[in-house]
Structure 1
Amino acid sequence: MFRFNHYNINVLDLEKSINFYKNALGLNIIREKNAQDGSYKIVYLGDGKSDFSLELTWLKDRKEKYDLGDEEFHLALTAEDFNAAYEKHKAMNVIIFENPKMGIYFIGDPDGYWIEIIPPKK
């Protein structure tokens, strides 16, 4: 049997990404890995409630934006207070797509990754 462990995304500005995920989603650093030669840094973020983590990988020599294709893949998080989350993300100006019929919306991180925000199941 398998269980989810982590999801990886590559980022250009690690500090900017860490701040985004902390401010927008309340994720905090749970561990880090640093290359001895400084060529990469990996930071794992967690929600403090589950074992699942988001892995941010920064590569020293990477200068150009990552090609995200058609953004058909995404990370999804459930917001305990969906309306408060929506208002917060609206004020941060990070909402990039809304689907009122489905009751969801997406925010975009500094590198253009899409994050789906969904309400709790009723």
Structure 2
Amino acid sequence: MTKFYHFNFNVLDLDRSLAFYKQALNLTPVREKEGADGSFKLVYLGDEAGSDFTLELTWLRDRTTPYDLGECEFHLAFRADDYDAMYEKHKSMGCICFENPAMGIYFISDPDGYWIEIVPEAK
């Protein structure tokens, strides 16, 4: 048997990313790991619901250029229990990058250009 554990995004500016995920999705650090030589730092973010699944943000000290995300044909998805309020919050933050009203979903983009899908709670 296997179980989802975490998903990774590599980030260029860890502090900026931590602030974004806190503001946009209320994700907060649940554990961290740092290289003994300071060459990397991993920060695992958890949600308010206490899910076992986490988002791992990887920061590499020697990385100075943005990551090439290709055509962004991958994404992470979150289900929102108050979809309309979340939409308004993200709209005010200016981070909505794509909307699909016909499907009832939208996407936000994080500081490194990763797309995150926001889906309404199933009714």
Mark yes or no: TM-score above 0.5.
Answer: yes
Q: What is the match of residue 58 of structure 2?
A: 57
- Which residue in the other structure is 1:21 paired with? 21
**Runs of 4+ that moved beyond 2 A:** none
Matching residue of 2:45: 45
Residue 103 of structure 2 aligns with which residue?
102
- Cα displacement string for residues 41-86 of structure 1 (whole angstroms, at most 9, x for unaligned residues): 0000000321000000000000011010110000000011000000
Name the CA distance, whole Å, in 2 between partners of 1:3 and 1:82.
27
TM-score of the two chains, using structure 1 as the length reference: 0.99
RMSD: 0.5
Spell out, residue by residue over 1:72-104, the C-alpha distance to the aligned partner (whole angstroms, 9 max, x if none).
000000011000000000000000000000000
Distance 1:25 1:69 in 2: 24
Alignment partner, residue 88 of structure 1: 89
What are structure 1's unaligned runs of at least 5 residues?
A: none
User: What is the TM-score of this pair, normalised by structure 2?
Assistant: 0.98
Unaligned runs of 5+ in 2: none
Q: Alignment length, in residue pairs? A: 122
Partners of 1:48 and 1:93 in 2: CA distance: 23
Q: Does 1:73 align with 2:79?
A: no
What's the counterpart of residue 4 of structure 1? 4
* Distance in 2 of aligned mates of 1:4 and 1:25: 20
Shift of 1:18: 0.4
Identity %: 65
Q: Which amino acid aligns with 1:19?
A: A
Q: Distance between the aligned counterparts of 1:51 and 1:18, measured in 2?
A: 19
Q: 2:42 aligns to what SS in structure 1? A: strand
